[in-house]
Amino acid sequence: MIAHSEWKHDSIFEGVAENGNTVLFDADPAHTQGPSPMEAVLMALCGCTSVDVVSILKKKRQPLSGLRVSAVAEQAETSPRVFTKIKLTYAVSGRLSRKAVEDAVALSKNTYCSVSKMLEKAAAIEYEIVFVDREPEP
């Protein structure tokens, strides 16, 4: 995997992956033109675990109709301002088995999500599961 970042102007930087995909990073405190690099890392964590959970629940033939993963992170007070604690909230919809969802989230966190495995070296990661539209199936 190869990537680079190029300063565009002011506090704007463009990240480029080897396949040409790009993302704008905005290092200005207002972040009006894109996420900060740390926000992008947090978004990558949400995306990575979302991909895992959807894939696992599909393999378990669970009728998932919606998933939103939200993250709240705390950072160190001084530089480098690494994440020290992250709480993930998985909001799921569908006629789902509680056990299937719990297993999918645990497998993502403990086995499959490479972003989570990297971040947990610096930050405690905890999670909760919220069943949005109904009580889960037994």
pLDDT the model gives residue 138: 65
Query: What residues pair up with 3 in beta bridges, in sequence order?
Result: 17
Query: What residues pair up with 17 in beta bridges, in sequence order?
Result: 3
Q: What architecture is domain 1-34?
A: Single Sheet (2.20)
Tell me the pLDDT of the chain (138 aa) as tens digits: 999 999 999 999 999 999 999 999 999 988 899 999 999 999 999 999 999 999 999 999 999 999 999 999 999 999 999 999 999 999 999 999 999 999 999 999 999 999 999 999 999 999 999 999 877 766
Looking at the chain, the domain(s) classified CATH 2.20.25 span 1-34
Q: Tell me yes or no: is domain 37-131 CATH 3.30.300.20.
A: yes
Looking at the chain, the domain(s) classified CATH 3.30.300.20 span 37-131
Q: Which two tokens stand for residue 12?
A: 């704007």
